Chains A and B, each alone.
Chain A
Amino acid sequence: MYIIVVGAGKVGYYLAKELLEAPEGHEVLIIELDAAKVERVTQELGDIALRGDGCEAATMEKAGYGRADMVIAVTGDDEDNLVVCQVAKAKFSVPRTVARINNPKNETIFKQLGIDTTVSATAAILAQIEQELPIHGLIQLLGLKGGGLEIVEVKVPQRASVVGKRISELLLPQQSLITLIIDSDGTPRVPSNDTVIRAEDQVIAVTRRETEDALRAVLTNSSSPDATGH
């Protein structure tokens, strides 16, 4: 494949390097405005860098956008990456465009404007954190001053033993109260004694600092729970 990478910062540099080393044997061109960065690429990766503005038509002609299979815009600025990809599509009909975005909220507009793929380090790290949460199990939402009470959130895992049980059947620690349940699709339910716990529910509860672990055990343990008596 002929792949054009726009931006020779750290991301662009290592991306080009990996692409060159890939067994598929890609043809790679890297476009960069800054002369020092162009120099570094040329010295270390060979004659694969073109100095210029990646969204200026003259540079694009010279770079051969017309025959590129893929354009990847990885400068540090979302607006530049957007324009690189939009112009590549509109003027040169590049089949596949990839844009790096810093603000994860820009994903929607980029998609709407026809960018094929967006990559956001911010979003990737966030997703990683969210994935880690179920392992942790319980998040403190709010500490209530004075009373030793706090409001916490617990996500009910798929295999938790509480799944399918009514709240009245749960052996919650003393002074713990389930105040709200949010479905996996985001619908909130105000629980009563008859409310049934479902997998992936987010349970919002009031509890004491000391009974936090016991509460988590009740809601997340997959074996028969024995977290009683607190």
Chain B
Amino acid sequence: MKVVIMGCGRVGATLATWLDNDGHDVTVIDIRPDAFKRLPAEFKGRRHAGNAIDQDVLARVGLRQADAFVAVTQGDNRNVMATQMAKHLFGVRRTLCRIYDPIREEIYRDLGLETISPTLVGAQLLMDLLDKQPVAGDGETEA
């Protein structure tokens, strides 16, 4: 499938690399060209330096032909805006949007976006680990 990823931070670059390794057609957009250093040298996808909340930029990377769009920049609002543009202006069938703020995440999930809040997911994982392995006396930490 053809996937466009907005944001080449740790998560964006890792996801791009995995998808590329699995043989998918990947395009990564980031406003800072420096960010592409996070991609391995053997990355076969496209790197596009530009502002992904500009519909001309989204058109230029061929978003209309994309099967999926993933927004993982540091800014919740940028992710929210780009995802809605991908969904409503470019008709991308699968759009995923990262929103750190759990309340904003809930609002946009109710508005029909497929969202993920790393804040809740992360906190839940840590909670589960603590529940599974409660700190008992002076016991060693076990995996």
A residues apposed to B, CB below 8 Å: 55-57, 77-80, 82-83, 86-87, 90-91, 103, 105-106, 108-109, 112-113
Contacts and interface: CB of A to CB of B under 8 A. Distances in A.
Interface stretch (B34-42, B52-60, B119-127, B133-141): B52-60
A109 B88 CA distance: 8
Contacts of B80: 79, 82-83, 86
B53 A79 contact: yes
Contacts of A78: 53, 81
A55 B53 CA distance: 18
Nearest to A57: B103
Interface in B42-56: 53-56
Contacts of B111: 86, 90
Nearest to A114: B111
Contacts, number: 51
Contacts of A55: 77, 104
A185 to B, nearest CB: 24
A105 B51 CA distance: 14
A100 to B, nearest CB: 14
Contacts of A87: 104, 107
B84 A90 contact: no
A57 B88 CA distance: 25
B55 A109 contact: yes
Given A56-B101, A82-B80, A105 B107 contact: no
A109 B78 contact: no
Interface string B54-96: 1110000000000000000001111011001100110000000
Contacts of A90: 107, 110-111
Contact of B77 (A82, A103, A113): A82
A79 B101 CA distance: 15
Interface of B: 53-56, 75-78, 80-81, 84-85, 88-89, 101, 103-104, 107, 110-111
A79 B75 contact: yes
A106 B103 CA distance: 25
Contact of B107 (A79, A80, A91, A106): A91
A83 B77 contact: yes
Nearest to A60: B103
Given A82-B77, A83-B76, A90-B111, 9 more contacts: A77-B77, A78-B53, A83-B77, A83-B81, A83-B104, A86-B80, A103-B54, A105-B54, A113-B84
A87 B80 CA distance: 11
Most A CB contacts (10 A, CB to CB) among B56, B88, B89, B103 go to: B103
B41 to A, nearest CB: 32
Given A79-B78, A90-B110, A103-B54, A109 B104 contact: no
A19 to B, nearest CB: 25
Contacts of B55: 105-106, 109
A91 B108 CA distance: 10
Contacts of B89: 108-109, 112
B89 to A, nearest CB: 6
A32 to B, nearest CB: 16
Contacts of B75: 79
A85 B59 CA distance: 25
| Pairs of residues from A and B, 3 with the lowest C-beta to C-beta distance, nearest first | A79-B81, A79-B77, A57-B103
